Amino acid sequence: MRKEEAKWQKVLWIVFMLLFSITATAVAAYIYGNSLRDICLLLIVVTAGCAGVVFALIQSDICGVLHYDNGAHYVRFVVTFMIGITAGCLLPMLPDSGWAFPAIALALTLFANTATGLMAYAVILGICIYFSNGSVLIFLMYFLIGCLFAILTGASAPLCAAIGMVSVFCGVTNCPITALLISFELFGFDHAYYYLIAIAVSYMLSGYYSLYHAQTIVYSKFENSYVNRHGE
């Protein structure tokens, strides 16, 4: 009987976390004057991110890899995550020193495990960047995808997240050498061959699309010819 009650408590906490995150984000986006289209796109991304966090949390609980006794106390992780979501939504109104990124990230990791905490932190950070009018939300989306891929395949979450980030950087800027140097600077040389392969594939598949429409691509990516065209 107690096990059944504990199970339903976990379900209720998860549902509450999802509803709170989606509602808080929607209300904040509306208050800040975002268009209906932007709000819908934001909610799709937030819902997908939160669903990934829930999946990681439940899978970690089933596999028994949650730190300490967090499997029996979802409330710790849920409350911390909701505090992070709230702070992210209120970011434009907070002072520069009022947002403790390391503390939130550490708490999420301690109240779950590294992979789950990393995914939850990526969702919160993405919301922060969106509401602070940042232009790098797409990097956080690929960071999140990398973490989810790592969880599904059992690969290293930090490595997959790093590969996702440098790949999308190369794809949207058309700067493979810069992306490679950034990967070395941020993540070291231990997995350089993974970064090389991911950046090369990203550069080829991105075509002539660019985050910066004024960017000029001088030579074709697929053949030895002069194209001299602007990013699309």
Ordered DSSP codes for the chain: -HHHHHHHHHHHHHHHHHHHHHHHHHHHHHHTT--HHHHHHHHHHHHHHHHHHHHHHHHHHHHT-SSTTGGG-HHHHHHHHHHHHHHHHTGGGS-GGG--HHHHHHHHHHTS-HHHHHHHHHHHHHHHHHHTT-S-HHHHHHHHHHHHHHHHHT--HHHHHHHHHHHHHHHHH--HHHHHHHHHHHH-STTHHHHHHHHHHHHHHTTT--S-TT-EEEE-SSSS-EEEEE--
Q: What is the pLDDT of residue 85?
A: 92
- CA neighbours within 13 Å on the CB side: how many for 95? 2
Q: What is the pLDDT of residue 101?
A: 64
What are 90's two structure tokens? 């209120």
Tens digit of pLDDT for each residue in 174-213? 888 988 898 888 888 888 888 999 898 888 887 777 767 6
Q: What is the pLDDT of residue 68?
A: 81
Q: Do residues 228 and 218 touch, judged by C-beta distance below 8 A? A: yes
Tens digit of pLDDT for each residue in 132-190? 765 455 556 666 666 666 666 767 767 877 887 788 788 878 888 988 898 888 888 88
Tens digit of pLDDT for each residue in 53-76? 898 899 888 888 887 888 888 999
Grade residue 16 by pLDDT with cuts at 50, 70 and 90. very high
